[in-house]
Amino acid sequence: MIRMGFASVSVPRAYAHSTMLDLGADPKSVNLRDRSPYFYRLMPAVCRTVRPAHAISKLPDIVRRTMAIRAENIMMRGGSESSRDMSEFLDSLTNEEQLMFQKSYGQARRTAAHNRGYGSELAASGLARAVASSVGSGAGATSSEQAAAQAAAAAVASASVGGAQPAGKGGTS
């Protein structure tokens, strides 16, 4: 019916001229979630159905630019392991942007934990198990070699569990 001219679809509020002007001025300051939680996902459908086409001719370019600028901002904020309240920022993000933030923030937390030495503690405990199993279960291992391997594994495991800092991170070595 739309193609035959019997019906028309107006531009949804999320893609209205005023929104496009706001996005053109500063994409980071626009609360897209209030306009549409699925802002990026709906854009192709809007482009296919809204007539006349000149009403939305610049929409793809504006949305592409908006996504690039907002994605950079999201990755920067999500990539910092900050303790400040992010609720207002998160409330302005579309669903897709919130997923992007969660991925970025999760990666920042894992990286920070690794940099604080927790990753090396896990590796050390795995190394201790590997040493104990290779030396302790060897075919020609003596009882003193088995005891030494078990003692080494226990020492590394207790240091990892006890919260010892790796060398150069404030711990003693």
Q: How many residues does the chain have?
A: 173
At 56 the pLDDT is 75
Question: How many angstroms from the chain centroid is the CA of residue 9?
Answer: 36
At residue 7, φ and ψ (nearest 5 deg) are -140, 160
At 11 the pLDDT is 80
- Eight-class DSSP state of 140: T
| Cα–Cα dist 117/119, whole Å | 5
Q: Where are the domains of the chain?
A: 13-115, 118-161
In this prediction the pTM is 0.58
Burial (CB count <10 Å: 0-12, 13-18, 19+), residue 146: middle
At 124 the pLDDT is 57
pLDDT digits (tens, 9 = 90+) for 52-102: 676 678 888 898 999 999 999 998 888 775 667 788 889 999 999 999 998
At 23 the pLDDT is 92
- Eight-class DSSP state of 10: P
Task: Work out the angle at residue 166's Cα, subtended by the Cα atoms of residues 163 and 171, and round it to the nearest 5 degrees.
Answer: 75
At 165 the pLDDT is 45
Report residues of the chain scoring pLDDT below 70: 1-3, 5, 7-9, 51-52, 54-55, 81-83, 118-173
At 46 the pLDDT is 83
| Cα–Cα dist 152/1, whole Å | 78
